[in-house]
Amino acid sequence: MARLPSAGQLNLKQAVGQLLVVRTSGLLLDRQRLYPHWELTSAALEEAIGHYGVGGVLLFGGSLGDTSIKIEAMQRQAAVPLLVAADLEAGCGQHIGGATRLPTARAIGEANDLDLARRCGEITAREARAVGINWVLAPCLDLQSNPRNPVIALRAFAEKPEQVARLGTAFAAGLRSGGVLSAAKHFPGHGDVEVDSHLVLPVVDRERAQLEREDWLPFKAVLAAGIDSLITAHLRVLSLDPDRPATFSRRILSEIVRGEWGYEGLIVTDALTMGAVAGWPEPAVCALEAGADVILMPESVPVAVDQICAALRQGRLSEERLYASVARVLAAKAGLGAATAALVDLEGLDGPALERQIARRAIAVDRDRMGLLPLDRTCPVLQILVVDRALDGSVLPDSVLLDVELGFESYWLEADCPPAFLQFLVERAAVSGRILVQVLTPLRAYRGSAGVHGAAETFLRTVAGERTILASFGNPYLGRDFEALSTVVNAFNNSPASHAALLERLES
């Protein structure tokens, strides 16, 4: 791996490059790319690292072996060691095949155990370091303060700021002990929104006093404990800066985070490819003017470099300001040392056991008005598996075996369900002793809604009553939309471990 220079040893072009982080994957071939619009081709990645000298990469997807090979190749090519980042809020297995997939932050929050949160952070960090990832973009410190939030949901540890602060700090401590950089996100708080910033720009209408008292409490806690980076949110906060998204707001980044809070770590933009900031002129320049240090996923590296260099020539950005950010980036890299996969100790880690433990503790019965739990094994059960499309989820193989193991009559309910089949399901429900509706649709970016699809909503409203059990693996607030349902159980996580834990709860 290349030696780390000082900021003063870099020329202007090299300095600008250090502030950019581009998206790639752990896959080795261009034809394997899942998101070709965002993930650079091999040639473009080679140009970004070799010619423009980008400071880091953001990695999604790939197997343990392929990811390790690709990261090693990228580091060999880089003149300055790279930051290799990944969104691993739910363990290294969230994006790296073969690694441990841990429960969501909300499942950890339901378990409400600081040691479990710390261990999740440590396992994530150690597995990440083993393949060459050195920057984990977690924890998410947003509050789940709006049940209609389509993008945060299970990514938040809890609704209460004190609980988010404790668990987020513990998770970050685990990351630190595992030898990776951490990132608190999404400042100034992404919890109280009803639209997805991947698609459009949300607006937060909270007074500063409420932000200080609630949304900012977790951020201040992790900053006090030591967090390496702070990721911005693409949203407008009317009480702070009504004209600009937080990512482009000098008031929020420079005056509050740097000035009032005295934070000296990295300030990082959320991805500039997101719909919330689409069309914003010169976004990389605006983010640097506001006080950001790192530009995550610029639409075009050449364009971003040209615009930043033009801003320097025009005096909109000073070299002093630029090199201050470069110094922070290099300081973060220096703090990582030169550990390699051979030096990462994975002995004693049992991620699957930890996942099962949290999954069991996270299961929560929201209500059981008619005492349907535990299930009466002598009563016929109609099971409906709500999915966006069939075979779209890792828990389905376990689910479809229930008709064999427990005598359930099972059907999938897809988003494009034909009306005739929906009517068939309603008729089957009418003659069934119990109706178990398992909602497996994920809450994810770009979906745009926290609710179920239309076919599922129609079915649930038709069969809602004293014989129906709703089991949600995603949105924990679905029960509020269907008050007539007798029984509601939440798993707060969509994985085989959580599915098994929920079945245990239904039977015991």
CA distances from 351 to 115, 355, 398 (A): 14, 6, 20
Query: And the tokens for 313?
Result: 């020539």
Confidence of residue 441 (pLDDT cuts 50, 70, 90): confident
Q: At 201, phi and psi to the nearest 5?
A: -90, 115
Q: Which residues are paired to 20 by β-bridges?
A: 295
Q: What is the mean pLDDT of the chain?
A: 92
| % of the chain exceeding 90 in pLDDT | 79
Asked whether residue 278 carries a pLDDT value surpassing 50, the answer given is yes
* HEC readout, 395-410: CHHHHCCHHHHCCCEE
Predicted confidence at residue 58, as pLDDT, reads 97
Domains of the chain: 19-25+62-343 (3.20.20.300), 363-507 (3.40.50.1700)
Given 198, 234, 453, 499, the catalytic residue: 198
Asked whether residue 445 carries a pLDDT value surpassing 70, the answer given is no
Given 270, 293, 453, 499, the catalytic residue: 270
Predicted confidence at residue 261, as pLDDT, reads 98
Predicted confidence at residue 253, as pLDDT, reads 99
For residue 228, indicate whether it is catalytic: no
CA distances from 460 to 323, 368, 386, 474, 483 (A): 58, 16, 10, 16, 10
> How many contiguous H segments (helices) and E segments (strands) does the chain have?
19, 16
Question: What mean pLDDT do residues 36-60 have?
Answer: 93
Asked whether residue 141 carries a pLDDT value surpassing 70, the answer given is yes
Asked whether residue 340 carries a pLDDT value surpassing 60, the answer given is no
CB-based contact 370:466 (threshold 8 Å): yes
Predicted confidence at residue 339, as pLDDT, reads 45
Predicted confidence at residue 36, as pLDDT, reads 75
Asked whether residue 394 carries a pLDDT value surpassing 90, the answer given is no
pLDDT, tens digit, for every residue of 408-421? 898 999 989 999 99
Instruction: Give which of 38, 40, 95, 88 is closest to 64, Cα–Cα.
Output: 95
Predicted confidence at residue 86, as pLDDT, reads 98
DSSP code per residue over 49-83: HHTS--SEEEEE--BHHHHHHHHHHHHHH-SSPPE
CB-based contact 383:461 (threshold 8 Å): no
The predicted model scores a pTM of 0.94
* HEC readout, 191-208: CCCCCCCCCCCCEECCCH
Asked whether residue 283 carries a pLDDT value surpassing 60, the answer given is yes
Predicted confidence at residue 446, as pLDDT, reads 60
Predicted confidence at residue 377, as pLDDT, reads 82
CB-based contact 143:192 (threshold 8 Å): yes
DSSP 93: G
Confidence of residue 267 (pLDDT cuts 50, 70, 90): very high
Question: What mean pLDDT do residues 327-347 have?
Answer: 76
Asked whether residue 2 carries a pLDDT value surpassing 80, the answer given is no
Asked whether residue 399 carries a pLDDT value surpassing 70, the answer given is no
Predicted confidence at residue 224, as pLDDT, reads 97
Token pair 């502030």 in the structure block, residue: 19
Question: What mean pLDDT do residues 364-378 have?
Answer: 93
For residue 453, indicate whether it is catalytic: no
Asked whether residue 337 carries a pLDDT value surpassing 60, the answer given is yes
pLDDT, tens digit, for every residue of 459-488? 999 998 889 999 999 999 999 999 999 999
CB-based contact 116:358 (threshold 8 Å): yes
Rounded Cα distance, 184 and 199, in Å = 22
Residues 6 or more apart whose CB falls under 8 angstroms from that of 69 comprise 28
Predicted confidence at residue 402, as pLDDT, reads 56
Instruction: Give which of 197, 204, 205, 203 is closest to 277, Cα–Cα.
Output: 197
Rounded Cα distance, 112 and 358, in Å = 9
Sign of the alpha-carbon torsion through 348, 64, 294, 267:
negative
